[in-house]
Amino acid sequence: MTGDLKINPIDREEVMAALSQMFASEMFRNSERMQQFLRYIVIETLEGRADRIKSYSIAIEVFGRNSGFDSAEDPIVRTTATRLRSLLDRYNQTANNENGIIIQLPKGRYVPEFQRREERQETRLDDTETGPARTETLNKRKRWPSAPFAYAGISLSVVAAVALVITAVLLDFIPWPPFTSVPDHTASVVVIVRDTTATAGSQAAHYLAQDFSELVVGKLVNHGGIKIVDAAGEAADFVSSIVKSRPDDDVFTFDSLVREGGGVLSVLWKLNDARSGVVVWATEEPVKNEALRDPNAVADVVIGRLVGLEGAIPTVLSIIYGDHADRRECLTKPQRIAFIYHSAFQQNMRQCLEKVVEKDPADAEAWGVLAQLYHRLGRNAASFGKDTSEFSQLLSDAAQKSVELAPQSFLGMQASMYAAYDKKDFQGFEFVARRILSRFHDPHLKIRIGNAFSNIGRDDEGIPLTREGIEESGELQGLGYLSLGYERYYRGDMLGALEMLSRVNAEDYYLVPLLRAITMAQLGRSEEMNQAVSRLHALRPDYEENLYYDFNHNNVTKPIIDSIAVGLRKAGLQVVDPQAQLN
């Protein structure tokens, strides 16, 4: 029986009495937002306005959003409805409802249903996913120490230093052995998101905190690749029950606190290993200006730090699975390093990921990472002057599959972006890239997309975006500085180019000795020029013959390629320009 006023023989007074009893219960008593949501949809239904209950009207009336609300960009209504639906189910199963009226929220709808308890058909929903114990995998999994860290006592500077060390170590690869098999199981990463709290006495902190965990849940779901459990209002033993039901999964809890000190707002969040209770990541995000006091914008920043290309979860998983072939390593490593330009790992990762999608063709995450990997394999082939058509087709197919399976996920959108870039569909690339930047606030994405904008001649946007990403990441070294080095070379600032090179720290990536060789040639420093040329040829034999082919494949504009060719010729190399030969 729906709530579209078809509530006979249940009358309005009975429904409102049931609602009041529900709000007085332990489950709802401290959840003002759930009460507001449920009261609104119940009253609208009882008043005969059920047809007006839409996500837009709920966003305006319950959450105070403005008239420009877009549910595709702001998932607050959808995620809160999911939480409310779960809360109602638990209440209806356990509460001592004196008047026997049950209020339900059907899946996929915002219009409630009313029913008498004796009329309700009992159903059993088994939402646990269990399987045979996988002892071998668990034995290989590195566990965190049993003694938990005190969250409040962790120095943020220490956390930042540890993160930098982790990044440096992970980038220092040795060739990986081939993956001979992929486990039959599909173990998962599970994040249990708990309620956000706020410091007492701060109205601004309370405002930011009240929707924050809902936003985090929705954005993590949209990001894809991770199973999300909303623990708002759950009992104290809820986390342990999840851990027990998922013996082979990596289960983390996410906690957040909004606080105000000296008139400055900040969000402190931590990621905990749910089995041991150890805090594996903790940081503080300052809310720097009035614009970022919007909970949606702040949540975007936190999501980037949590699951971005260099985020907490990929980093932590890389530590856990750094020494054996597991499906999660197969997926986590490329996410962290798909754009770090070492080629030794690429074929092994291709083998691993292709086996994953062969066993599970519906794995959208694996298809999304594969698309990015095919892009990197194509770039690598072009740098040796080899045909790239195989990888272009594979990239296109993988991106299409990823988008079909998870069109709104981070990996699906990113796969689509690289497919457009590979096809030289710059309008399509810019459209998807801007959408990604607006939804996923990851500084490393800004660096990569900024670099791509610069390649296609959009320096006015690309360079500032790259700088912004570097500043937000806080990295003192990294490949983001390489694109800035080429930009300074192109402008004739050779000393500035060398300064940027000193921050790259990736001499085994061929574009580093290439920039060093042409810069030293322009400065007339022949000894250092010759050393750089030798290093370039060790990594890419006769590269001068493939320069134009390589950079054209990467969509770099001809004036930039010409400027590099000038430097190589000054270094004594015979650069081949296919277009000039045709003319």
pLDDT in tens, 44-61: 999 889 888 988 899 888
Instruction: Please state which of the ranges 285-294, 311-320, 574-583 shows the lowest mean pLDDT.
Output: 285-294
| pLDDT at site 99 | 59
- Mean pLDDT of the region 123-140: 35
Cα 442 from chain centre: 8
| pLDDT at site 282 | 86
Q: Which amino acid is at 111?
A: V
Over 60: is that where the pLDDT of 471 sits?
Answer: yes
d(CA 227, CA 251): 9
What's the pLDDT band for 278 if we cut at 50, 70, 90?
confident
Over 60: is that where the pLDDT of 144 sits?
Answer: no
In 3-state terms, what secondary structure has residue 238?
Answer: helix
350: in domain: yes
- Mean pLDDT of the region 209-220: 84
Quickly list H helices, 150-287: 156-171, 203-210, 212-223, 238-245
Q: Which amino acid is at 257?
A: L
Do 96 and 219 belong together in one domain? no
d(CA 481, CA 486): 9
Judge whether 555 and 424 are in contact, CB under 8 Å.
yes
d(CA 444, CA 422): 20
DSSP letter at 186?
A: -
d(CA 350, CA 504): 26
What's the pLDDT band for 68 if we cut at 50, 70, 90?
confident
Residues 6+ apart with CB under 8 A from 463: 450, 454, 483, 484, 487
Judge whether 209 and 261 are in contact, CB under 8 Å.
no
Over 70: is that where the pLDDT of 344 sits?
Answer: no
Do 351 and 286 belong together in one domain? no
Over 80: is that where the pLDDT of 536 sits?
Answer: yes
Q: Among 537, 549, 538, 556, which residue's Cα sits nearest to residue 578?
A: 549
Do 256 and 369 belong together in one domain? no
Residues 6+ apart with CB under 8 A from 343: 376, 380
What's the pLDDT band for 42 if we cut at 50, 70, 90?
very high
| pLDDT at site 392 | 96
Half-sphere exposure at residue 335, Cβ-oriented, CA atoms within 13 angstroms:
29
Residues 6+ apart with CB under 8 A from 579: 548, 558
Do 244 and 318 belong together in one domain? no
Residues 6+ apart with CB under 8 A from 86: 230
What's the pLDDT band for 205 if we cut at 50, 70, 90?
confident
Domain end: 410, 441, 472, which one?
441
134: in domain: no
DSSP letter at 14?
A: H
Domain end: 256, 275, 301, which one?
301
Judge whether 537 and 506 are in contact, CB under 8 Å.
no
Do 329 and 269 belong together in one domain? no
In 3-state terms, what secondary structure has residue 490?
Answer: helix
Residue 262, phi-psi category: left (phi > 0), alpha (psi -120 to 50), beta (remainder): left
What's the pLDDT band for 166 if we cut at 50, 70, 90?
very low
For the chain, how are helix, strand and coil distributed in percent, rounded to 5?
55, 10, 35
pLDDT per residue as tens digits for the range 369-419: 889 889 989 999 999 999 999 999 999 999 999 999 888 778 888 999 999
d(CA 108, CA 529): 65
Do 296 and 391 belong together in one domain? no
> Among positive and negative, which fits the CA dihedral 177, 178, 182, 187?
positive
Judge whether 511 and 341 are in contact, CB under 8 Å.
yes
- Percentage of the chain beyond pLDDT 70 is 77
Domain of 252: which CATH number?
Answer: 3.40.50.10070
Domain of 315: which CATH number?
Answer: 1.25.40.10
184: in domain: no
> In Å, what is the CA distance from 23 to each residue of 92, 111, 195?
13, 18, 18
Tokens standing for 578? 């296919």
| pLDDT at site 516 | 97
Q: What mean pLDDT value characterizes the chain?
A: 78
DSSP letter at 197?
A: E
- Mean pLDDT of the region 491-501: 96
β-pair type (264-273, 250-261): antiparallel
571: in domain: no
467: in domain: no
What domain count does the chain have?
A: 3
> In Å, what is the CA distance from 564 to each residue of 407, 545, 574, 580?
39, 13, 12, 15
Do 368 and 282 belong together in one domain? no
Domain residues for the domain of 242 are 189-301
Do 111 and 211 belong together in one domain? no
Residues 6+ apart with CB under 8 A from 196: 209, 210, 212, 213, 216, 256, 257, 258
Q: Which amino acid is at 265?
A: L
- Percentage of the chain beyond pLDDT 90 is 32
pLDDT per residue as tens digits for the range 145-164: 433 333 333 333 333 333 33
d(CA 504, CA 4): 63
DSSP letter at 544?
A: G
Domain end: 116, 140, 157, which one?
116
Among the ranges 115-119, 257-261, 288-292, 351-355, which has the highest mean pLDDT value?
Answer: 257-261
Over 90: is that where the pLDDT of 182 sits?
Answer: no
Do 329 and 291 belong together in one domain? no
Tokens standing for 241? 């029950």
Do 264 and 355 belong together in one domain? no
Do 245 and 349 belong together in one domain? no
> In Å, what is the CA distance from 341 to each residue of 173, 419, 507?
11, 19, 11
Over 80: is that where the pLDDT of 105 sits?
Answer: yes
- Mean pLDDT of the region 190-219: 86
- Mean pLDDT of the region 236-253: 86
pLDDT per residue as tens digits for the range 514-524: 999 999 999 99
318: in domain: yes
Do 321 and 272 belong together in one domain? no
pLDDT per residue as tens digits for the range 412-453: 889 999 999 999 999 999 999 998 888 777 788 899 999 999
488: in domain: no
Which is higher by pLDDT, 67 or 537? Answer: 537
70: in domain: yes
Over 90: is that where the pLDDT of 336 sits?
Answer: no
| pLDDT at site 153 | 34
Helix axes 32-46, 12-23, angle to 10 degrees: 180
